[in-house]
Amino acid sequence: METKTTDYVYESVSHIENAEASRRFIANVFVWMFAALALSAACAYYFAYNKDLSSLIRNPETGANNIWGTVVMISPLIIVFLFRPGLNRLSLIGVGLMFMVFSALMGISLSSIFYNYPPELIASAFATSSIVFGVMAVGGYTTQQDLTKFGSILIMLLVGGLVATFLNLLVFRSSSFDLLISYLFVAVFVGLTAYDVQKLKRIGAGIEYGDAAGKKTAIMGALTLYLDFINLFLLLLRIFGGNRR
């Protein structure tokens, strides 16, 4: 499971009601997110089924990652933690390229799922994730209820789930408990999807989207929703596949 991003909101952003600005901002967020998912999917597919590409990151006989495969798996996590500190230093083009590089590396690292799960199971998990994500995104955008209070609860559940995962890995080693944790994480990322979309809606209503800072904020928002979707997809894939690692 991938990590969540840290808070990407500028301290000076004020949340004002500007429906048109919010719609344009959210539309751009989803354009960036869908472009990133498409790039990740293409990289995952080609690095799974093209033998020449696959051999660059894993042992052709065992399917295990070589040194370059390990580097590729770690690189997206490093980029996520560098994203916010570099946001103000990089140009808009630099931030966009950084996001696309991140998406490509994520796709390459995700190519391993094709060695662990049959294609039809991957397609089923992806379709389910898309439906659930879409429903919660629409809900988060249209609801009149303030979801702010749920954000801190969801983050605490996320941290608690990570702690439980490590304890189960090191101490309990229970497959049933592991499955329960997976369901907990699914609930967390379903909730975070609605929360993050509402948060982005409010941010979009309080910034001048046409400037570079606003466009870079849209890319950071796309990164957040991208990670929500990828985590939801991987968790459902594990559940559908009998919680295999």
Question: Residue 197 in contact with residue 145, Cβ under 8 Å?
Answer: no
Residue 131's nearest CA partner among 79, 185, 50, 190 is 190
Per-residue pLDDT averaged across 19-35, rounded? 90
pLDDT for 16 beyond 80: no
pLDDT band, very low/low/confident/very high, at 175 (cuts 50, 70, 90): confident
pLDDT for 12 beyond 50: no
pLDDT above 70 covers a percentage of the chain that reads 88
- For helices 67-87 and 212-240, what crossing angle results, to 10°? 140
Please list, in sequence order, all residues whose beta carbon lies within 8 angstroms of the beta carbon of residue 200, skipping any fewer than 6 positions away.
25, 26, 29, 221, 224, 225
CA distance 240 to 234: 10
Q: For residue 244, what pLDDT is reported? A: 56
- CA quadruple 138, 141, 144, 145: dihedral sign: positive
Q: Could you read off the pLDDT of 114-162 as tens digits, one per residue?
A: 988 999 999 999 999 999 999 999 999 998 888 888 888 888 888 888 8
pLDDT for 15 beyond 70: no
Please list, in sequence order, all residues whose beta carbon lies within 8 angstroms of the beta carbon of residue 33, skipping any fewer than 6 positions away.
222, 225, 226, 229
Q: For residue 10, what pLDDT is reported? A: 38
Question: Residue 11 in contact with residue 78, Cβ under 8 Å?
Answer: no
In 116-204, the DSSP E strands lie at none
Per-residue pLDDT averaged across 201-214, rounded? 73
Q: Could you read off the pLDDT of 75-120 as tens digits, one per residue?
A: 988 888 887 777 778 888 999 999 999 999 999 999 989 988 999 9
> Is the model more confident about 208 or about 41?
41
